[in-house]
Amino acid sequence: MPPDWAVHRFPGGAFCVPARFAGQAGPDWFDAARSGAVPVGEGGRQAAWFVDGVHGPAVLRHYRRGGLRARLGGRESYLWLGESRVRAYAEVKVLDHLRRAGLRVPEPLGAAYWRAGIAATGPHPGGILYRNAILVARIQGAQALAGRLDRADPAAVARAIDAMHAAGVWHADLNAYNILFDADERVWIIDFDRARLGVVSPEQAKKNRLRLRRSLVKVAGARGAQWWDALSRCFPP
């Protein structure tokens, strides 16, 4: 966790928040049934909610699998490999890194996990599986690239993607819903689950960009491919 964050443990799990919220936060911050929670309408695998509280306007997201694992059950269960491998904690680390580098990504406001499954022994009993969640500041008035290709500036998106790679972050799911424009037409990148920190090679950067192309074509067909062509011309050779 960032050095200025506080960790609170409870039976079966823990949560962490910036130190300024240490005396106000509780496990209920990460409960999708909390008062006033409103489901996010697009993206997020139906596992994200708009929430409000002393932390300000925020987005709560529960980690949920896709693909074959989701169809087989256990959509929100992950194998426990230690606290350092909790996906929400890893995403907080990436967001903190990018914000310190001056990039526009959501401010992390908290992360939590709950262990379940076969009981474990020791001073902190838990289980072999865990669920987790992250809370990030909401980008007010933001719209996803997917819904505004007619008004989106390809050069601005290219600069944001290049800056992310230059900061040493590889995005695991760069798609048309994870790139946002705020009310001032500034570009933000969101959802850094499974992102990796380290030097991003030209080949890795290319794969990130091609994943975005596939998303644009899936969302907008020929119009998406046309917009991608304009975007690709903005990247350095």
Q: Kindly list the catalytic residues.
A: 173
DSSP state of 101: T
Taking the C-alpha atoms of residue 125 and residue 138, their distance in angstroms, rounded to an integer, is 34
CA dihedral (21, 193, 149, 206) positive or negative: positive
Cβ neighbours of 133 (radius 10 Å): 25
Find, among 124, 83, 107, the residue nearest to 4 by Cα. Answer: 107
Beta carbons of 141 and 182 less than 8 angstroms apart: yes
Q: Which residues of 3-18 are buried (b: 16+ CB within 10 A; e: fewer)?
A: eebeeeeeebbbbbbb
The H or E element containing residue 67 is helix 67-71
Beta carbons of 26 and 107 less than 8 angstroms apart: no
Q: How many helices (H) and strands (E) does the chain have?
A: 4, 13
CA dihedral (179, 180, 185, 187) positive or negative: negative
Tokens linked to 88: 């929400």
